[in-house]
Chains A and B, each alone.
Chain A
């Protein structure tokens, strides 16, 4: 088994970039379900699962992991191509927190036992992971979280609530931050736990979002007993683990793909409405088109650093701000372009128009809030990049 995988890694990274790109593209174009392309929302797991299982079967479900853990062991450059090809084809995002977040954290901070026990199921999507960070009272100010884990023999007893958890209804497990030392300074008394959501006392409730989708949830932990072997890293050092968000995730959260999708939808809508040639429309459309082209140049600049294996600086925050705000400007214009069709609820358009202007608009609202609000990212850049003083 390990010999074949070793063989695979050599193949992928030894392939020329173009050959690798062709291989990825061929597979995606042949096997990805046409009805799931370029969706303006995350599809339910049951719809996406057959595709993800194809990836698992092919050994492509964890492109970023080292080969010895069952990943593809791709170099940063190859990984960017892998992601790029999926975006190009409009492949929907799987509930991939295990792959992109927890897996790499475990590989860096986890015990051998954790790696052995947890990584295989994560890779095959037998376990699906969601993030237990935000709380009702702790959003941007995450370090103020109050969910508590109290030691009781070899176990910790967890009590508290987590909210705005993406994919939680599909998830089997969560990685969560809980306070284990109330006396320590805020960030120092927090521990990182892996929690099986089928344990007694763990409950979930879907929250319908502004676009009408149940994409995120609230999780309640009422005396959930977790064995201490589920702590990742050291006790009270969970903040360090959580902060180790990798280059790729930071780059990915600023990817221009949503703005690109939105722009393509805007074009389709304009065609449908016959306004592509109208001077007023064309002027604003071209402005957005160029904003998108130049945003991609900024993305390419940061992607190039990742490709060369350089750690990204705090300046990458501007990418997330710009991408999500451009996405909003495009969807706002789309809603205006839709005219009175924009007032029709999504899914109710019937025969008056095919392109849904409402869902992308509503979906885009949350993108400047999740994964750090635009305001928090601006604070970060102001202090850490521009060196502006604290208040």
Chain B
């Protein structure tokens, strides 16, 4: 597929080195920003994140990790993206980096409109354009390919209709990739932000961030705004979806890792009955199970990313790997953050305690793009197709 990222042909050791450098710099950047405090303050606001921080992230290259060098990006892979995304989760950054760059920019990148790629992707990399993908509709049960929004051609261009939900990053987006059907099948269209403004309404998410509902009625775009036609649109969406699943899983691992570390620390400082509560076996064993859940997510993520990074991997095995890891991290993040609240006792259910923020981020990210049940079913379907194919 043209638009494939251009991962440098480097030795595994070099790549590991590069990933660990990215991980470290992401960790340093995110640790320095008091983002948990910022996330807390921004709750309920629109858009719920800072354009200023977005620009800084672009300065680090994060908005173009998967975007090839010819569009100004780093041209790296999902492993590198995961190294950064984990820090986003760990320090609870509210910026929709995964939604915007994996889904929005990804759909453009894997589409077939070179003019739009050349125009939009460099601006995504520089942080000047924040794209969002509008795919979700009511009643479609999470299937990213199941759009029923309509695209009708006329002399004035393409008239869109339908309603899109849960467009993460949508309230601050400078443009939208919209999935809609014409007579031939599923297509993707680029809708500039100013054209969409009238149809936008915010919706607050469980973690206090915002998403948008986008009403497409009355929207017209010129024919050259078509990003992908039938066939290619499915491929582009599936690939962007899978890459977003990998990155979101890494972000969830960051949430898990922080929630567990904070909780472990609490068990070692809180005293009751004259003793540190972490000395009680009942709590120790629960802590061990959370630790095991974190280790499992990490090992599975590493394995899945290594397998998915194989050159020319086909859509089915890639989708199976993406669903496998999203199912794992979605489930584990809910278990770990819920248990973290319980182990904190009364302080854990107060709004002032940060552990609740991690629980709510886990709720949001684990449900976004499909939770454990959805992805187990998708995994089974894709893995069985793959087995039949083999």
Assess whether B373 is in contact with A283, with CB atoms less than 8 Å apart. Answer: yes
A184 at the interface (CB under 8 A from B): no
Q: Knowing A282-B380, A286-B379, A290-B328, say if A388 contacts B284 (CB, 8 Å).
A: yes
Q: How far is the CA of A388 from the CA of B300 in the complex (A)?
A: 26
A350 at the interface (CB under 8 A from B): no
Assess whether B285 is in contact with A388, with CB atoms less than 8 Å apart. Answer: no
Interchain pairs with CB closer than 8 A, number: 88
A322 at the interface (CB under 8 A from B): yes
B287 at the interface (CB under 8 A from A): yes
Q: How far is the CA of A367 from the CA of B304 in the complex (A)?
A: 29
Q: Chain A's nearest CB lies how many Å from the CB of B336?
A: 14
B267 at the interface (CB under 8 A from A): yes
B276 at the interface (CB under 8 A from A): yes
B114 at the interface (CB under 8 A from A): no
Interface string of B262-281 (1 = CB under 8 A from A): 00100110000001101111
List the B residue with the shortest CB-CB distance to A387. Answer: B268
Q: Knowing A382-B284, A386-B264, A388-B287, say if A294 contacts B299 (CB, 8 Å).
A: yes
Q: How far is the CA of A354 from the CA of B264 in the complex (A)?
A: 48
Assess whether A386 is in contact with B324, with CB atoms less than 8 Å apart. Answer: no
Which residues of A lie under 8 Å from residue B264 when comparing CB positions?
Answer: 386, 388
- CB < 8 Å neighbour of A297 from B275, B287, B299: B299
- CB < 8 Å neighbour of A391 from B268, B280, B295, B327: B280
B29 at the interface (CB under 8 A from A): no
Q: Knowing A286-B379, A290-B327, A391-B280, say if A378 contacts B296 (CB, 8 Å).
A: no
A315 at the interface (CB under 8 A from B): yes
A298 at the interface (CB under 8 A from B): yes
Assess whether B281 is in contact with A289, with CB atoms less than 8 Å apart. Answer: no
Chain A interface size band reads 20 to 34
Q: Knowing A318-B291, A318-B295, say if A391 contacts B324 (CB, 8 Å).
A: no
A89 at the interface (CB under 8 A from B): no
Assess whether B373 is in contact with A389, with CB atoms less than 8 Å apart. Answer: no
Chain B interface size band reads 20 to 34
- Interface residues of chain B: helix, strand, loop or mixed (majority): helix
Assess whether A318 is in contact with B292, with CB atoms less than 8 Å apart. Answer: yes
B288 at the interface (CB under 8 A from A): yes
- CB < 8 Å neighbour of A379 from B284, B300, B376: B284
Assess whether B377 is in contact with A283, with CB atoms less than 8 Å apart. Answer: yes
Interface string of A272-292 (1 = CB under 8 A from B): 000000000011001101100
Assess whether A378 is in contact with B299, with CB atoms less than 8 Å apart. Answer: no
Q: Chain B's nearest CB lies how many Å from the CB of A317?
A: 9
Which residues of B lie under 8 Å from residue A383 when comparing CB positions?
Answer: 284
A27 at the interface (CB under 8 A from B): no
Assess whether A297 is in contact with B276, with CB atoms less than 8 Å apart. Answer: no
Q: How far is the CA of A387 from the CA of B304 in the complex (A)?
A: 30
Assess whether A382 is in contact with B296, with CB atoms less than 8 Å apart. Answer: no
Q: How far is the CA of A295 from the CA of B297 in the complex (A)?
A: 10
Q: Chain A's nearest CB lies how many Å from the CB of B18?
A: 20
Q: How far is the CA of A385 from the CA of B288 in the complex (A)?
A: 9
Which residues of B lie under 8 Å from residue A295 when comparing CB positions?
Answer: 296
Q: How far is the CA of A282 from the CA of B277 in the complex (A)?
A: 41
Which residues of B lie under 8 Å from residue A290 when comparing CB positions?
Answer: 324, 327-328, 376, 379
Assess whether A286 is in contact with B380, with CB atoms less than 8 Å apart. Answer: yes
Q: How far is the CA of A386 from the CA of B265 in the complex (A)?
A: 10
Q: Knowing A388-B279, A389-B278, say if A375 contacts B285 (CB, 8 Å).
A: yes
With A386-B284, A387-B268, A388-B264 known, 4 other A-B pairs at CB within 8 A are: A286-B379, A297-B300, A315-B295, A318-B295
What are 14 inter-chain pairs, A to B, with CB distance below 8 A? A283-B376, A286-B379, A294-B296, A297-B296, A298-B295, A298-B299, A318-B295, A321-B288, A379-B281, A382-B281, A388-B279, A388-B284, A391-B279, A391-B281
Q: Which residues from chain B sit less than 8 Å from chain A, CB to CB? A: 264, 267-268, 275-276, 278-281, 284-285, 287-289, 291-292, 295-296, 299-300, 302-304, 324, 327-328, 373, 376-377, 379-380
